């Protein structure tokens, strides 16, 4: 899967202005998603005084989802300078996020300033360092009787030789119909060795919480929804009693909201704005085809059934049989390739690229692959293949002749 995007960011408040122009290209290979995004940044900070900063940067992001594991790594490097100064400096930011189930670890390392805030803190731009690490766990026991989260973290900035330790824990226990006992504790410790200052802070609290509806309240144009992902064996878009819900399925809405189905194959999402969402599903490191379409319109509290089916990619190409002395490259784009399931009769199709390449995404089964066109003569049409875990995944090759070309050779 290839994806490209561009955006222009403009942000302003009383003391801070930022402009950012970014373009990017993404590609998925063997379950790994690679994204490269060069960008230009301009920032102005006016408290105290006025400082203008610009940078040319590039970000490389690598992401991988596998079962309950998720890893996301970003390498961000660039050249920046304070406008009005002749000195420029290189800077690098490294970001790492790893999740397995409810456990996560986040890490960050910043070497030299990468934004105007870092510049204001850095006494020497090529000696600035900022490191941070956070780990946490989200708790949700079966039946939603006990839930909560906890995290602990550490941050170090060398400019002030400052160290910040922080931790927090929150628990909620259901004691009756819609009644919960809650407790939380937060601790932080900060030391600045350069100024020999610091502080410790400890807060805790207990309380009772009452839920007045089954769903948390939704404001105007905000919706509480449930998604049920099931394997649609008969491909009719409706779930019957024998079609299973799929636990461990990763569902994305607009590539920004990501959730994993629970042990029953369900997801609950609260406060979802009214909109049409682009939806994808992935399970066991393989993308699933959504038979009801890749868009979902959400405008009310509702349970949505998401019919999916596992598909396999079969690639192929058209190769031209050239006449003698023919050196012209033919345009093989836009030719329809059909795949008809010989058991169900259902037909899938795709089109070729300029070079004649194509790919089909097909559910398991036996298929007749054929071409219908008026431009070329296909010499080996109507090929049969088997698609599935045990199917042979050799490329499909069709040969064609251009019936409109005739070359006459005269000898002198």
The reply to whether omega before 403 is within 30° of 0 (cis) is no
Q: Which residues of 306-331 are buried (b: 16+ CB within 10 A; e: fewer)?
A: bbbbbbbebebbbebeeeeeeeeebe
What pLDDT score was predicted for residue 326? 53
Distance CA 106, CA 129 (A): 17
Please report, for residues 244, 260, 300, 305, the alpha-carbon distance to residue 238 in angstroms, rounded to integers and kept in the order given: 12, 21, 20, 8
What pLDDT score was predicted for residue 267? 93
Q: What is the pLDDT along the chain (412 residues), one digit of tens a residue?
A: 445 554 454 444 456 677 888 888 888 787 788 889 899 989 887 755 678 889 999 999 898 877 678 888 999 999 998 888 888 889 999 999 898 877 889 999 999 888 877 777 675 545 788 899 999 888 777 666 788 889 899 988 887 678 889 899 989 888 887 788 999 998 988 888 776 778 888 888 999 987 765 444 445 567 899 999 998 887 888 888 788 999 999 998 887 788 899 988 999 998 888 888 889 888 876 778 888 878 888 988 999 999 998 888 889 999 888 765 555 667 788 888 999 988 888 888 898 888 889 999 888 888 999 998 777 888 888 899 988 766 567 889 998 887 655 544 455 5
Is residue 225 within 8 Å of residue 268, measured between CB atoms? yes
Q: Which of 252, 405, 244, 256 is nearest to 324 (CA)?
A: 405
pTM of this prediction? 0.50
Q: Length of the chain, please?
A: 412
**Looking at the domain that runs over 222-310, which CATH code has it been given?**
2.60.40.10
**CATH says 128-212 is which class?**
alpha beta
Backbone torsion region of residue 242, taken as left when φ is above 0, otherwise alpha when ψ lies between -120 and 50, otherwise beta:
alpha
- Enter the DSSP assignment of 163: E
Distance CA 163, CA 131 (A): 10
What pLDDT score was predicted for residue 135? 93
What pLDDT score was predicted for residue 75? 95
What pLDDT score was predicted for residue 343? 82
What pLDDT score was predicted for residue 243? 87
Please report, for residues 320, 326, 339, 385, the alpha-carbon distance to residue 315 in angstroms, rounded to integers and kept in the order given: 17, 27, 12, 12
What pLDDT score was predicted for residue 288? 84
One fold for 128-212 and 312-402: no
Token pair, residue 187, equals: 């601790």
Helix (H) or strand (E) holding 118: helix 116-121
Task: Give the rounded distance of the alpha carbon of 161 from its chain centre.
Answer: 36
Q: Which of 315, 311, 332, 313 is nearest to 396 (CA)?
A: 315
- Enter the DSSP assignment of 324: T
Distance CA 151, CA 169 (A): 7
Give the chain's radius of gyration (CA, Å): 29
Distance CA 272, CA 258 (A): 13
Distance CA 112, CA 92 (A): 7
CATH architecture for segment(s) 312-402: Sandwich (2.60)
What pLDDT score was predicted for residue 220? 56
Q: Give the strands of the sheet with 396-402, arranged side by side.
A: 357-362, 312-320, 396-402, 376-378
Domain extent listing, the chain:
1-121, 128-212, 222-310, 312-402
Q: Which residues of 351-371 are buried (b: 16+ CB within 10 A; e: fewer)?
A: ebeeebebbbebbebebebbb
- In angstroms, how far is the first alpha carbon of the chain from the final one? 54
């Amino acid at each position: 899967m290839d994806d490209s995007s561009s955006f222009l960011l403009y942000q302003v408040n009383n003391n801070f202005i930022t402009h950012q122009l970014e373009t990017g290209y993404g590609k998925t290979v063997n379950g790994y998603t690679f994204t490269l995004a060069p960008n230009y940044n301009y920032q102005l900070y006016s408290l105290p005084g006025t400082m203008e900063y610009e940078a040319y940067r590039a970000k490389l992001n690598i992401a991988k989802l596998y079962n309950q594991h998720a890893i996301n790594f970003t390498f961000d490097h660039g050249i920046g300078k304070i406008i009005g100064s002749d000195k420029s400096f290189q800077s690098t930011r490294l970001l790492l996020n790893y999740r397995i189930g409810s456990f996560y670890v986040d890490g960050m390392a910043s070497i030299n300033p990468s934004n105007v805030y870092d510049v204001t803190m850095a006494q020497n731009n090529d000696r600035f360092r900022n490191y941070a690490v956070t780990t946490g766990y989200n708790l949700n026991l079966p039946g939603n009787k006990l839930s909560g989260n906890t995290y602990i973290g550490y941050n170090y900035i060398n400019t002030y030789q400052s160290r910040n330790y922080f931790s927090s824990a929150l628990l909620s226990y259901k004691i009756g119909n819609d009644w919960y006992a809650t407790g939380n504790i937060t601790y932080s410790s900060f030391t600045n060795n350069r100024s020999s200052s610091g502080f410790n802070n400890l807060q805790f609290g207990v309380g009772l919480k009452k839920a007045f509806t089954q769903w948390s309240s939704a404001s105007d144009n905000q919706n509480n929804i449930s998604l049920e992902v099931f394997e649609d064996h008969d491909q009719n878009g409706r779930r019957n009693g024998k079609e299973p819900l799929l636990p461990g399925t990763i569902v994305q809405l607009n590539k920004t909201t990501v959730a994993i189905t629970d042990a029953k194959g369900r997801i609950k999402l609260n406060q979802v704005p009214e909109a049409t969402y682009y939806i994808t599903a992935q399970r066991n490191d393989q993308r699933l085809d959504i038979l009801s379409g890749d868009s979902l319109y959400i405008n009310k509290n509702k349970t949505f059934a998401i019919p999916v089916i596992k598909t396999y990619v079969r690639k192929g190409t058209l190769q031209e049989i050239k006449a003698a002395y023919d050196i012209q490259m033919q345009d093989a784009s836009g030719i329809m390739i059909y795949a008809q399931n010989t058991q169900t009769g259902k037909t899938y199709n795709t089109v070729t690229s300029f070079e004649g390449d194509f790919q089909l995404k097909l559910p398991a089964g036996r298929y007749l692959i054929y071409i219908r066109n008026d431009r070329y003569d296909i010499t080996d049409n109507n090929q049969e293949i088997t698609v599935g875990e045990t199917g042979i995944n050799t490329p499909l090759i069709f040969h064609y002749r251009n019936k409109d070309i005739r070359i006459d050779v005269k000898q002198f």
